[in-house]
Structure 1
Amino acid sequence: MAHATSLHDHARPTRPAHHHVAGPVDVVTELCTALFSRFRGYDQRVRARQYMDGLLRAQGRKSIANIAASVGVPGDEQRLHHFVNSSRWDVGPVRGALAAFLGGNGPVPVWVALPVSIPKAGRRMVGVFPHFSAEEGHRVVGQQAFSMWYASERMVAPVSWRLRVPDPGPGRRRTVEEFPDGLATATATAENCVANLLDDVRAWQVAPRLIVADARGDDERAQVSQMFRHTSPVAVRISGRTLLTVDEQRRGAGHTRRLTPAHAALDQARRTRSAGHLAHGGNPPVTATASVRLPGPRDPRCPGPAGGLALLGVWHEPRRAPDELWLTNVDEPASPALLRATRLAHRVDAGWRARGKEVGLRDYEGRSFQGWHRHMTLASCAYAMAELRSAEASGGSSLDA
């Protein structure tokens, strides 16, 4: 089994823990130093810190007006608007610094790729279009974004983002303000957005780490294929209708393969299911696994157990359909380590809904594509700050705060 499909090393950090967080003041000082030293000018460093502080302090919607009112003086609203929408700075180095800082505070057992929908009523805002939301279970009008989160038992925090902006169709053109040249291919499909996030992870990490993702929704098949082209171990949540190839050994018929929906691929394994174990107590779920492949020709870029993949079903009520279906290339698909990793994905989702709302991850309402990315990057920094403070206050785990 290739190293890329093993979970054995996930308890060890990718780098020495350089950033020891001793208290709230140290959190502020160390994180701001790590993040905002990436800005060239003093004024940019001031505005970045001001914007992040405003996201943490402002009440209600985190508009630039509210942010400026909570931390600034007359004239700061215009300055912050310019800083986010027009100033020259790149989000990439800030995101890389955030990933390095979080990794230095402890092990990085999981990266979680989370698709999110941000309902918006105004069609003139950047990236607003009708799409299926896995979060809501139906089609919505709004922004479809893809995020990559740091996730450990200590804390979770978003680090990188992609906003999907589909091709507007023949006869329609986008303004440079809304959608700069050269970015259409990178963000036109969910598959491309996911691929770009995987490139971010590849740039940040020293050794392959488990990547957990939810591919349900539009372009599910393309997203699943993209995930398994990555060199890291991967676990992808899929819908029950996803078609998979199952290898079978039938009496009198020899070795056969059949194409079947994922929910039916576990029928035989379910009859010999085994109980799994979770780290946080409670009734453990029931799990079952089956060896499967993605339909079509064998892709040498998709390493997995025995040359294929494993389908993991998770039941909280064994007499019903599985609550979750996970497709993975790890060599122990029903291991406690993988089950704990899927629980972290749920905590990321909960964090997006709760703390994500508190720090303004849903609140950008401008037309600028670059402005959206800058707002989401600074809101991610504010999220990490709040998580680190909670972790200190609760004695080391923000997840139990």
Structure 2
Amino acid sequence: MSDTPSIREPVRRTRPARHHAAVSCDIVTDLCAALFARLCGYDQRVRARQYMDGLLRAEGRKSIANIAASVGVPGDEQRLHHFVNSSRWAVSPVRGALAAYLGGIDTAAAWVALPVSIPKTGRRMAGVSSHFSAEAGRRITGQRAWGMWYASERLVAPVSWRLGLPGTSPAPRELPDEPGASAVQGCMADLLDEVPSWRGDPRLIVTDARGGGRAELTRLLSRPSPVAVRVSGHTLLAVTGRRRGAGSAERLAPARSVLDRARRARLPSRGEDSAATARVRLPGPRGTARPGTPSEISLLGVWHEPRGEPDEFWLTNAEPRSPQALLRVTRLAHRVDTGWRTRGRDVGLRDYEGRSFQGWHRHMTLASCAYAMAELRSAGASGGFSPAA
């Protein structure tokens, strides 16, 4: 029996009745009660609810001034500014409560780690640097962040965040129980280490490592939990082949050429994405498997058109039931990316203008809750959470 983690089909659970009532009546009240039970004092719970209402209602940029103007009274701008930047409350319990709440509605098919760049004009804001943005396709001045998103077949929502800070060593934590300030290299590892604390049954973690080096791939695919990583077609992989009269031998080949045989054997059907897999290894310094990595991993190729080379390449340390099962899970990464660019913009995930690292994390946490509210409201209005028959 293989000890390789397997990819299971998402389990459809019967949703608790209280969540159905919340979706159909007032999801905001129910969700806020679940998220902010551990905040110290009535005033903090009021400010948290007020801030999220403002994120959902305010037009244009979700600045504190606009948030306060949309939901408050004179004086609330200063109160909300204090709540986000100076009041003593930790984001970790709120993020854990959000993960638990979403998991109680629909079991996650995967957790998607999304790297993003947030353009900023002021260099005094937390984490601002000049860096290459894969989203923009060029160098920008802004923040580099990583978000961990809950993703099921029916909804996606961000839960936790890390902000990369220029430099090579972590900065000290600003408050107890807050996420540590991480150098860019440590952000992904911090997020991956946080996920197991949210539930006891780890799901597949999906992420994009195009442009990353061999060391980053090795760290990701050597984790005990199942991981699927998108890579470039130029990524070199070790493939075991057979030489005439010489038995088997290992050769290095780019990912795009490894699946040539699968492409020739069965072309994808027109109008639908199709997939095929091959068993490969991560090459070591001299073309051998690096110690500590799985002896073999799977390469998934995805075709959007019926002919030609695959359009996407994924590496995974999990053992899928079929290429199509893994394909369905990796599609969640596209939904998360779309959500970041659309609903994420609408609830202000890009809009924090303060200079405080602590304030950035609090804003992103509250904006993530607002995103979940909007997603659940939308799904409830469309009948996406009708009780199971």
Normalising by structure 2, we get a TM-score of: 0.90
Deviations 1:220-258 (A, max 9, x none): 434322322332222111112222211112223321112
Q: Is 2:111 the partner of 1:123?
A: no
Q: 1:2 to 1:127 in 2, by over 3 A?
A: farther
Q: 1:181 to 1:49 in 2, by over 3 A?
A: closer
| Cα distance in 1 between the residues matched to 2:329 and 2:308 | 23
**How far did residue 344 of structure 1 move?**
1.4
| Residue aligning to 1:161 | 161
Q: Which moved more, 1:361-370 or 1:16-25?
A: 16-25
Q: 1:233 to 1:2 in 2, by over 3 A?
A: farther
Q: 1:54 to 1:222 in 2, by over 3 A?
A: farther
Q: Is 2:188 the partner of 1:194?
A: yes
Q: What letter is aligned with 1:288?
A: A
Q: What letter is aligned with 1:76?
A: D
The one of 364, 370, 380 equivalent to 2:352 is 364
| Residue aligning to 1:271 | 264
| Cα distance in 1 between the residues matched to 2:47 and 2:154 | 29
| Residue aligning to 2:247 | 254
**How far did residue 26 of structure 1 move?**
3.5
**How far did residue 358 of structure 1 move?**
0.2
Q: How does 1:197-346 map to 2 (within 5 A)?
A: 197-217=191-211, 219-273=212-266, 275=268, 283-296=271-284, 298=289, 302-303=293-294, 307-332=295-320, 334-346=322-334
| Cα distance in 1 between the residues matched to 2:207 and 2:30 | 30
Q: Is the 8 A contact 2:92 2:179 kept in 1?
A: no
Q: Is the 8 A contact 1:19 1:101 kept in 2?
A: no
Q: Which moved more, 1:74-83 or 1:18-27?
A: 18-27
Q: Is the 8 A contact 1:312 1:333 kept in 2?
A: no
| Residue aligning to 2:19 | 20
Secondary structure, counterpart of 2:19 in structure 1: coil
Q: Is the 8 A contact 1:246 1:291 kept in 2?
A: yes
| Cα distance in 2 between the residues matched to 1:125 and 1:268 | 51
**How far did residue 74 of structure 1 move?**
1.1
Q: Is the 8 A contact 2:4 2:319 kept in 1?
A: no
**How far did residue 376 of structure 1 move?**
0.3
Q: Is 2:51 the partner of 1:51?
A: yes
Secondary structure, counterpart of 1:59 in structure 2: coil
Q: What letter is aligned with 1:208?
A: P
| Residue aligning to 1:108 | 108
Q: How does 1:25-36 map to 2 (within 5 A)?
A: 25-36=25-36
Q: Is the 8 A contact 1:246 1:260 kept in 2?
A: yes
| Residue aligning to 2:66 | 66
| Cα distance in 1 between the residues matched to 2:320 and 2:101 | 30
Q: How does 1:78-157 map to 2 (within 5 A)?
A: 78-157=78-157
| Residue aligning to 1:37 | 37
| Residue aligning to 1:279 | none
Secondary structure, counterpart of 2:51 in structure 1: helix
**How far did residue 20 of structure 1 move?**
2.1
Deviations 1:47-98 (A, max 9, x none): 1111100000000000011001111111111111111111111111000000
Secondary structure, counterpart of 2:20 in structure 1: coil
| Cα distance in 2 between the residues matched to 1:53 and 1:222 | 43
Secondary structure, counterpart of 2:38 in structure 1: coil
Q: 1:241 to 1:320 in 2, by over 3 A?
A: same
Normalising by structure 1, we get a TM-score of: 0.87
Q: What letter is aligned with 2:136?
A: E
**How far did residue 288 of structure 1 move?**
2.6
Q: 1:220 to 1:79 in 2, by over 3 A?
A: farther
Structure 2 residue runs of 5 or longer lacking an equivalent are: none
Q: Is the 8 A contact 1:243 1:261 kept in 2?
A: yes
Q: Is the 8 A contact 2:7 2:321 kept in 1?
A: no
Secondary structure, counterpart of 1:370 in structure 2: helix
| Residue aligning to 2:8 | 8
| Cα distance in 2 between the residues matched to 1:309 and 1:6 | 12
Q: 1:9 to 1:232 in 2, by over 3 A?
A: farther
Q: 1:355 to 1:220 in 2, by over 3 A?
A: farther
Q: Is the 8 A contact 1:208 1:232 kept in 2?
A: yes
